[in-house]
Amino acid sequence: MAVLGRGSALATKLFLTFVAAWISFGLVDRNPLLWVLVLSGTVTALNWVVGDRLILPGAGNEVAALAEGVLGAVIASLLAVTVRGFFATATGLFHFGVLVAVLELFFHRYLTSERIAP
């Protein structure tokens, strides 16, 4: 039986993504906390749908984690281009992509071991 249900797993994913975004864009790039939260929510939602629901079941943990790290960095760069109050350096984008990918490697192991992901 799963320790966390889908809702709790999604909340955990949001927290982990927020920590990665805060380190990368709050501490490194000095962005406001509001934009770090907006980015975290957006990346969490898209990575859950694309990475955890579509890619993970078919391609496996490593491919899904890499895809989610890249997707997170792309979303952050799009936010930086479109929002005047958010700034992203190449260093911040790199850190965010790597942190998301590494965190997702462990998160996917949990999802598959507890049969939360398909």
Q: What is the DSSP string of 82-114?
A: H-TT----HHHHHHHHHHHHHHHHHHHHHHHHT
Distance CA 58, CA 84 (A): 38
pLDDT value at residue 1: 42
pLDDT of res. 101: 98
| Dihedral-angle region of residue 60 (phi above 0 means left; psi in -120 to 50 means alpha; beta otherwise) | left
Print pLDDT tens along the chain (118 aa): 455 678 888 999 999 999 999 999 999 999 999 999 999 999 999 999 999 999 999 999 999 999 999 999 999 999 999 999 999 999 999 999 999 999 999 999 988 887 776 6
Domain map (residue ranges) of the chain: 6-113
